[in-house]
Structures are given as C-alpha cells and as structure tokens.
Chains A and B, each alone.
Chain A
Amino acid sequence: MSASVVTRADRDAFVARARSRATRRVARSVGSATLVIGGIFWSIFLVVTVAVPLIVRQAGGVMGGGVMTGAEYAAPWFGLSLGMIALASLVVPHVAAGGTRRSLFVGGLVAALVAGVAYGAVYGLLLLVERGVFGALGWEWAQLGSGLTGGPWAVVSAAAGAIAVAVYMLVGMAAQAAYRTFGVWQGTLLLLPGLALLVLVDHATRSGAFADAFGGLGLGPDDLPAALGLLQALVALALAAGWLWWQLRILRLRPTR
C-alpha cells in the first residue's frame, strides 16, 4: 500500500494477506495450546494405562476393564473446556489486533479439527497399548471405544473420538461467544442447542456420556455400522461449525465501562 494512491488491487491484496495472517495466528494459538495441554492429559493416561494394570497384577488382582474408558468420557469434555477458555482468552485481543470474526472462526475450526485428529489418533493408539498390556498379563480385555461396528475397531474408535472432540471444542467456543453476546440469562439458554449437538455426536458414535444416558431410551440400535455412524457424526460436526459461526458473526463487543 502506498501513501499516495491506494488502488483496488492494493486493497484486495492487503485484505488477502490480512485474512491469511489472522486465520493462521488463531489456528496456531488455539491449536498449540490445545496440543500442549492435551499432551499432558494423554501422558497421564499413558502412564495410568500401563501402570495401573501392573500395580493390580503386583497385588495379585485382575482387572475387569481398562482405564481407557475414562479417556473416552473425559477427552471430549476436556476439549469443550479448552474451547471455552481459548475463545475467552482470544476474542477481544483478536478483534483489537484487527482480526475479523471470520478469521477467528476459521482459525478456531482448523484448531478444533487438528486437535480432534491428534486426540483421536492418541486415543486409538492407547487403546491398542492397553489391549497389549492386558494380553501380556493374560487378562481378557473388554473392547472399549466406539460402539460402531465394522471396519478396524481401533481406527473407527479413533475417528469417532476425533470427531467427538472437535464437536465438543466447537460447542465450547460457541457457548463462550453466546455468553459474550447475549449475557448470562440468554447465554445459558443458548447452551441447550449446543447440548443437543453433544447428544447428537455421542449418539452417532455410540460413545461418551450422552450415548450411555440416552442408550436405554430406544433412540436407535445399540450398534451401528461404522460408516453410517461416522457420517452422522460428521453432520454433527458441520452443525457445530455452523453454530459457532452464527455465534461469532453477530458478536458485538460492548463498551465495558
């Protein structure tokens, strides 16, 4: 951009660079924080996954099920918390630094997808580790992970976990944005659509707390073909992304004094 004359081409090139810079920065900020904190989360699970069976064995006991079942429930909620914290921390500095809500959305979406894939991959890997540990100890290992049938179970579980974490993270960001835009009462009310998305993805992947809670209500078969379940989970992911975008595109930052 020159000081004298700004052409339409200058302007358009400037806009493209600004968008790219802002989006990449959000993805990096949210993604790196999520991966670093997630690294700690999964490291603890790795230690526990190996150590607990060995301790139980040392005491002469036998485990009826693995500890990775805890990760299946905890990881998505961990993602939801991180989504809320990340948006709360970033939204005002981002807009103040010249970023748009769109770059915040795209960057947040990319970070959620990256975090989901990373969490899902580690989750699938740790399921295999736990099965190996149980096998080495001569114990029977009850298959955990997604209740989806067909396909390699570890990969399906990893994919289901990845989508679930991404959805939870996006819903967490949307909840934070809703509180900012609408205040305490309406923001709380707007948790309900987000909650519906969490139920949807849990139900689609046949995993997580809501799958357990709604499993007995006869809302669908206990097991579901993997392709169909993952497709439904992807629909939930798209809806969560749309929900976040709707919340961000109307976000107004009121004067605070």
Chain B
Amino acid sequence: MTPAPFGARLDDVVVRFGAQRRLTAEGSTIKDEGGTALDGVTLDLRPGVITGILGRNGAGKSTLLSLLAAFNRPTEGTVRVGAGDLLEEPWENPWVTANVQFVRESGDLMDDERVSETFKYYADLRPYWDADLAGRLLDTFEIQPRKKPTQLSRGKRSAVGATIGLAARAPLTILDEVYLGMDAPTRYAFYDEILADYAEHPRTILLSSHLVEEVERLFEDVVVLHRGRVLLAEPAEEMQSRGFSLTGPVAAVDELARGRRELHRQRLGATVQVTLEGAPDDGATAGARAAGVEIGSLPLQDLFVRLTQDGGSGASSTAAEAGTSAREGRR
C-alpha cells in the first residue's frame, strides 16, 4: 500500500531557546546561544511536492523542520502535520512521527554500532522501510555497512543519512542539508536518486540547502526563511516569474535593463549577465532578439541572495508581498 503524502500547517509559530552549555560525545562542552529561532511563522506546506527550504545560516530552517518531526515543540503557536483532514500536532504523536522522516546532516546514527545495526533499528520502526533500496544506495555511495559511523568520513556519514531518508519512504521526508560533506559526484547521484524514487513513490519532500543552484531544479515549491520569518513561500514557477536574466554585450544589456530593478550582475569580459526583477515585455523581448541578447529564466540563487541580503534592501517589495501572501498562495 502506498501511504498518502503528508502536508503541514504552521500558525504563528514562535520558538525560543535558552542559552545552554552542553556535553559533546567527545566529553568537551559547547555553548549553544539562546534566542528566538522562529518568530511568528505562518506557512502551509503542500502534500505531494518537493519543497525547497532556503535561508542563510541561523535563518531557522533546522528549527522549523525539527518541529514537523517532533524533535522539538513550539514555544507559541501551533504545528499540524498529516494527510487529508487528519492534520495533528506532531509532539508525542505516533501518527505523525512514524510518518515523518527527518534527516539531519549528522544522520542521527548509533555511533557505537555498525551502520547495519542502525538500519535494523530504522527498519523495525519505519512502517514503509525498503531494505533493498537501502542496500542499493549504500552500494551507490560506496559505504560498508559493517563500519561504525565514527569510522566514516563526513561525506559518507551524510550519505548514510541520505540513504535513511530515502529508504524510509515516509509520506513526509525531510532532508536538512544532508549533502554537507558529500563530494560533487555523490551529491548529484543523491539528487538523481531523490527524483527517481519520488517519481516511483510520490510523497512530500522538504529539502533544505545552501547549494541553491544545484538543487533548484528539484523544487516545485520554495520557502525562503530569514531571521526566523517567512520571506517568501510559493511555487517555484511563480517565483521564477518574478524576474529574468539578460546575457549579452554589455552596452545592449545595459540599454535593455535601464529603469528596471537589478537583482544581480555578473560580467565576463565584454559579456554580462544581469538578473532583473519583473517580466520582460514584448518590446524588451524583441529588442533583446535584435541586439543578440539572450533572455533566460530567473536564477533562484540570485533572488535568494537578494532577498536575504543584510541591510534591509534584500527584503524588497517582492518579499514583503510574498510574506503576507505566504499562506494564501499555498491553498
């Protein structure tokens, strides 16, 4: 039986942490700073799509994702996760927790046991665990299941986490920067595996990443967080229609770009690529064609950088509109 994909809804969610000094596995201590990780987040996450969760370091991505898997609970507000009309709070709720697989970069493995033992644990708890897929992915990522996580490199450890994320086949699969430490071939193999498995077993996938250019092709929806707030939440297509790029001779591009809000500029010799806000009108399209300027889609990375720039200019009117319509846009 195929489980129905899970969606989620957050209403005015606030998460605050107190400062804390904690013990590490190595016996040293680390100070976790306190503060407000999420500040009034209201958001709908559509079931059955791949959603990119983007944001700079400390934006609140991991905190938001951890709420959905009951790693944590909100200080204020409500979080509801589920399928159809059965949206419920995740905290201590097996209906949600057994259907949500949250994978962090660390992989959340048993450090003192072989990888195979951790997989047995997941297999026993995860109702849709696919042992064949897990074995195949370990082969793909060249990981020996007899090894302990402490014997693995950071990249291999991340790959173990990625394997768990896919093999669990959870109706809501959350991958929180699991690519960290993976080399480029492994990352691309991982992206291909996500798409292949998603096509065969449709479910909801939330993928947080800094490598926006690499993963934007996967996204159907995009959420941008900044300083604990939602800046933007909408389908990727709609997001891409917020701007376009022009590539060609400097003079011609500058002429076409005049009077428009510039999101990004990159120059290489006599050629320049400029990313602009808004949509090209018929005149601009014809002018570009005549001047030998190529019109391209909006690189998500450029919009992301623009939105999250410090100093306030990043929070453009685009983001302000998106923030207020985050909820409505998802329905």
Contacts and interface: CB of A to CB of B under 8 A. Distances in A.
Contact of B112 (A17, A89, A255): A89
A101 B92 contact: yes
A184 B21 contact: yes
Given A93-B108, A253-B66, A14 B71 contact: no
Interface string B106-127: 1011111100001001101111
B29 A184 contact: yes
Contacts of B86: 6, 8, 11
A18 interface: yes
Given A19-B94, A100-B70, A93 B121 contact: yes
Contacts of A92: 108
Interface residues of B, number: 52
B222 to A, nearest CB: 21
Nearest to B123: A97
A254 B32 contact: yes
Interface residue range, chain A: 35 or more
Interface of B: 1-4, 17, 20-23, 29, 32, 37, 62-63, 66, 69-73, 83-84, 86, 92-95, 97-106, 108-113, 118, 121-122, 124-127, 164, 170
Given A5-B84, A25-B125, A254-B32, A100 B92 contact: yes
Contacts of A14: 94-95, 98, 127
Interface of A: 1-6, 8, 11, 14-15, 17-19, 21-22, 25, 29, 89-90, 92-103, 179-180, 182-185, 249, 252-257
Contact of A99 (B97, B110, B164): B97
A101 B127 CA distance: 18
A256 B106 contact: yes
A96 B106 CA distance: 11
Nearest to A183: B20
B4 A182 contact: no
A3 B125 contact: no
Nearest to A22: B125
Contacts of B112: 89
27 contacts: A3-B1, A6-B4, A6-B84, A11-B95, A18-B127, A22-B94, A29-B121, A89-B110, A89-B113, A93-B109, A93-B110, A94-B121, A96-B164, A98-B97, A98-B98, A98-B125, A99-B125, A100-B94, A182-B20, A183-B20, A184-B22, A184-B23, A249-B92, A252-B71, A253-B71, A255-B66, A257-B62
B192 to A, nearest CB: 24
Ordered nearest first, which 10 A-B pairs have the shortest CB separation? A183-B20, A96-B108, A255-B62, A18-B94, A18-B98, A98-B98, A97-B125, A253-B71, A3-B2, A184-B21
B211 to A, nearest CB: 16
Nearest to A8: B86
Contact of A95 (B70, B103, B105, B127): B70
